[in-house]
Amino acid sequence: MLKNILAAAAVISFLCACSHTRTITTKDGSATVSVGDGKDGASSVHAVGKDGSTVDFNTGKPITDYPSDVPLYANAKSAMDVKSAEKHARMVMLQSPDAMDKISGFYKSELESKGWKIETTMNTEQMVMYKASKDNRDVVVQLAGDGKNKTTITQTVGDKN
């Protein structure tokens, strides 16, 4: 299935240190893997399942075509961006030098101002999570701090089940 294609493509992309593009074909579909040359650290995988479903996985590239009503924290660098045509799902991972409290305040304010209804909030010393809904979509924002002013932001948005 598409997970198998992505797993194989991810392993190949991370094992290779040189710049190249390769297409991998399995019984479940195909994946095109582009591994960066190390200068910008960018790599990508475009997978197509035998049913025509697609998944795109990028690392080290700017986030594009992201839903305009879902906030992205400005002082953060993109670590990973995954798009799936199924349920219009999107997952991004960002890293910021800013404190988790500052980023948490930004997301709470921005989600509400963009019309999202925050349904669940969870706070611990090292993690904050918001689950919000709007129209037929859900978004989950998770912040994880390392205690040294480095925060990892993981956002998932997609159609409701």
Three-state DSSP at 72 gives: coil
Identify the pLDDT of residue 39: 53
Q: Taking the CB of residue 74, how many other CB atoms lie within 10 A of it?
A: 9
pLDDT digits (tens, 9 = 90+) for 81-105: 888 877 788 999 999 999 999 999 9
Select the more confidently predicted residue: 136 or 6.
136
pLDDT digits (tens, 9 = 90+) for 21-65: 777 777 776 666 655 554 566 676 777 777 777 667 667 667 788
Mean pLDDT of the chain: 80
% of the chain beyond a pLDDT of 90:
45
Domains and CATH numbers, the chain: 1-60 (no CATH), 62-161 (3.30.310)
Select the more confidently predicted residue: 155 or 25.
155
Q: Taking the CB of residue 21, how many other CB atoms lie within 10 A of it?
A: 9
